[in-house]
Chains A and B, each alone.
Chain A
Amino acid sequence: MRKALLIIICVITIPFAGQAGNETDSTERCHWLVPDHAKFQFAGNIGFLSGGFGYRYSNDKAELDFIYGYVPKTFGGPLHSATLKNTWIPFRSIEAGKGFTFDWFTVGIPVTYTFGDQFFFLAPKDQYPARYYDYSSALRLGLFVGGRADYKIPNAGYFNSVGVYYELGTYDLLLHNYIFNFGTTRFVDIFNLAIGVKVGFGK
């Protein structure tokens, strides 16, 4: 699986690699492109089901994920969306032994673009005066806090860890309405829940 992904990415990137090298060279050059993990999620305003891959950076204190999400008709769609999600893991993971680690606090910002003719990235200039609407209807800026548990698979092959996570999230428009009703509506009411699975790849 990982090898297949590696090969696909390298085949795509070889033409951009400048000097033609042998297979080993380009494999090494492309190594950093191989994702560190994949995530599959239920709910959380980025799709009924969503899935994607991502990278760890900043000494494993942060993750950047590229996610595609889908809402089928029976759950309020059809809606397709693409999400760029950054998660920070600010505190040291708690080593619980037997391969288990526990991150009790994560915080993140997902940016989600929902596809469709009825949504605009920016209000069309030929249709609306400047600043007619304050927000994009296609692009949402989110915010979440969460936590997760991971299990490191002993003698692992391509998949070296598996974990579960949850996120309590909201987004710009709900925050907007909350601020205008400050003191009269409950903060918790603008948050909703997401549950996901993370699979780590060995390198």
Chain B
Amino acid sequence: MKKYLFDYSFYKAVMVVLIITFGSCEDPFQYNPNEVLLSDDEKDLNHKNINRIEAIPQKDTLRFILISDTHHEYEDLDDFVELVNAKNDIDFVLISGDLTNFGLQTEYRETNDRLKKLKIPYVAVIGNHDLLGNGEKVFKEMYGNLNFHFKCNNHKFMMINTNSREYNFNGNVPDLDFLRSELNDTSAYNHAYVIGHVPPFNNDFDPDLVNSYTSILAETGRVKFAAHGHTGGFSIVDWYNNGVPYVQVDDMGARSYVLVKAGNNLISVENIIF
């Protein structure tokens, strides 16, 4: 051993091993689990994808997919992406939160590295796990605003942060003013869909805002459904008997997705297991 230590080739061999091991890694150096340092192609993804969605030409039937709670289910997500790429009639994918377990940048990357392989655009809304630690900061840089909306043909999609417990039920989450003002502008759309993570009938939703949230959704008569994740399991129920069905999107770990076909009327909402 002694003679090798002064042999240059010994150090070269060590360097080769390190380079082979870590040269294949995307980030050989990490500074803190909570670091937020994204490359340009990882930034502002919702905005970039919404531009693609808004450019979709007018069509009779819009077909989109809802998924939720992808967490660490990388293998299932890989299969999902492959499955969707094999179809050619889907317009876009919506994710109703929990893209991560711990809100870490490295987890956001793992998820996006898979979803970016989709041929069609995807748009994400934030979940409670995504807000942990620096997660909110990562989400804002990677995807953008926590509350936003976009249009496709005459369909309007309201993407809302409903993770009230993460803000200790401060009365501002979900942002009802935003929801109300955007839905009340009925000149701009015919059909609306509200997508959030925590559903109003779950105890992680601000109990003081449940009545307002659910009645705002019913006010215009144009909200075709509200879709949430968080709870696991698929269901579709008019919980508040006001004409707005609440769709529960199952976890990615359950290997299922929700396929929506929407025209001038809602045609179908279907849970598909793969």
Contacts and interface: CB of A to CB of B under 8 A. Distances in A.
Interface of A: 42-48, 69, 71, 75-77, 79, 81, 94-97, 100, 102, 112, 114, 116, 118-119, 124, 126-128, 133, 135, 137-138, 140, 149, 166, 168, 171, 173-174, 176-177, 180-181, 184-185, 188-189, 192-194
B32 interface: yes
8 contacts: A75-B31, A76-B35, A77-B32, A94-B1, A96-B1, A176-B72, A180-B73, A181-B75
B37 A75 contact: yes
B5 A193 contact: no
Given A94-B2, A135-B102, A42 B29 contact: yes
Contacts of B1: 94, 96, 102
Contact of B75 (A42, A47, A149, A184): A184
Given A96-B6, A173-B102, A192 B30 contact: yes
A96 to B, nearest CB: 4
B134 interface: yes
Contacts of A127: 165, 168
Interface string B110-126: 10000000000000000
Given A43-B29, A193-B18, A193-B28, A119 B34 contact: yes
A71 B104 contact: no
B32 A193 contact: no
Contacts of A46: 32
Interface string B6-43: 10000000000010011011011111111111000000
Contact of A192 (B2, B29, B75): B29
Nearest to A174: B106
Contacts of A118: 133-134, 136-137
Given A128-B165, A135-B102, A47 B2 contact: no
Nearest to A190: B106
B192 to A, nearest CB: 32
Contacts of A193: 18, 22, 28-29
B165 A77 contact: no
B29 A96 contact: no
Given A95-B2, A176-B101, 8 more contacts: A43-B31, A48-B32, A114-B33, A119-B34, A127-B165, A189-B25, A192-B27, A192-B29
A168 B103 CA distance: 23
Nearest to A149: B5
B178 interface: no
A192 B25 contact: yes
A45 B74 contact: no
Interface string B71-83: 0111100000000
A97 B7 CA distance: 13
Contacts of B137: 118
B262 interface: no
B30 A43 contact: yes
Contacts of B165: 127-128
Nearest to B20: A188
A3 B2 CA distance: 36
B175 interface: no
B209 interface: no
